[in-house]
Amino acid sequence: MARLRTFTNILPQPVRFGLRKALFYGAAHRCPLCQSSIREYRAHGGGAEVLEARKVVGGMRRERDRCPVCHGADRTRMMMYYLATEAGIGRTPARVLHVAPDYGLYLWLRRQPQVDYVATDIDAARYRHIEGIQSADLTAAPFPDESFDVIICSHVLEHIPDDRAAFRELFRILRPGGRALLLTPYAMDGKGTEEEPGISDPAEQDRRFGQWDHVRIYDRDDFLHRMAEAGFEAALYEPYVADTARAAALHLNPHEALPIGRKPAR
């Protein structure tokens, strides 16, 4: 199995997608992100002691959660749901910046009418399947002021040593009245944010933050505070409050809310 993974990982993402679609085909579910018919959703997350101990939403194990074809998980479906129901995606013209684009949400966004889609990552070569993706350091984004109506930045900021600079840049490039979906793993144990931006020991990062390339575990309230520091009107979107039945049908995490940053309209 390990050799098979090594071989398939060198294939282009669309080829891997097609192979997974055939391998996991079934009639039990239809992924709302990639539209694949699948036998089952698979377990996702977990495995790091610190994430369980600190009750890190977005890091703990979830059963029957991830699509085996596009790898879209509960948080990806939550963002899709918000974009469709609250942000007007597919109904009104919108220029969208997708940071570190996860494949399932990318596929969904590309199907939506009136979306001017821009993808970016600090290592754009990882996303060779996405045409026109731009390399960008979020602490010095190569985009003009007020460039985007919507910004999607999921599970990125916990990697960035100078996250406050990244928050400021995201605010700068968002248009007045625009929305930024800024999702991260966050702790719910009330013990605050733990971070060491200068850390460079992958084993210690894995032990302290739950992943070898993370530099912090955010406290949820502190994360919202840092958004507000940058100028955002920060709030939490709670899908189970918005529509319990639909959130349950999408198998969203009842403990997870989506941080939304709005740029005040002039």
C-beta of residue 132 within 8 angstroms of C-beta of residue 119: yes
> Terminal CA-to-CA distance of the chain, rounded, Å?
56
Distance between CA atoms of residues 132 and 143, nearest Å: 14
> Could you report the per-residue pLDDT of 165-197, keeping only the tens digit for each?
999 999 999 999 999 999 999 999 999 999 999
* pTM reported for the whole predicted model: 0.94
In the chain, the domains with their CATH numbers are: 45-62+71-262 (3.40.50.150)
Q: State mean pLDDT over 252-266.
A: 96
Sequential DSSP letters for 10-54: TS-HHHHHHHHHHHTEEEEEE-TTT--EES--EEE----HHHHHT
The proportion of the chain whose per-residue pLDDT surpasses 90, expressed as a percent, equals 90
Distance between CA atoms of residues 59 and 71, nearest Å: 15
Sequential DSSP letters for 198-257: T---HHHHHHHHSSTT--EEEEHHHHHHHHHHTT-EEEEE-HHHH-HHHHHHTT--TT--
pLDDT band at 10 (very low <50, low <70, confident <90, very high): low
Kindly tell me if the per-residue pLDDT of 1 is higher than 90: no
Kindly tell me if the per-residue pLDDT of 210 is higher than 50: yes
> Could you report the per-residue pLDDT of 234-248, keeping only the tens digit for each?
999 999 999 999 999
Sequential DSSP letters for 113-128: TTEEEEEEETTGGGGT
For position 15, what pLDDT does the model report? 85
Closest listed residue to residue 81, CA positions, set 194, 240, 264 = 240
Distance between CA atoms of residues 253 and 202, nearest Å: 29
> Which residues are bridge partners to 183 per DSSP?
154
Question: CA–CA distance from 169 to each of 84, 113, 137, 158, 184 (Å)?
Answer: 25, 27, 10, 16, 17
Q: Is 256 exposed, middle or buried (0-12, 13-18, 19+ CB in 10 A)?
A: buried
For position 47, what pLDDT does the model report? 85
Q: State mean pLDDT over 57-71.
A: 95
> Could you report the per-residue pLDDT of 103-122, keeping only the tens digit for each?
999 999 999 999 999 999 99
Strands 37-38 and 25-30: antiparallel
Sign of the dihedral defined by the CA atoms of residues 122, 175, 158, 238, in that order: negative
Q: Which residue has the higher pLDDT, 3 or 45?
A: 45
Helix ranges (DSSP H) in 56-192: 74-85, 103-111, 163-173
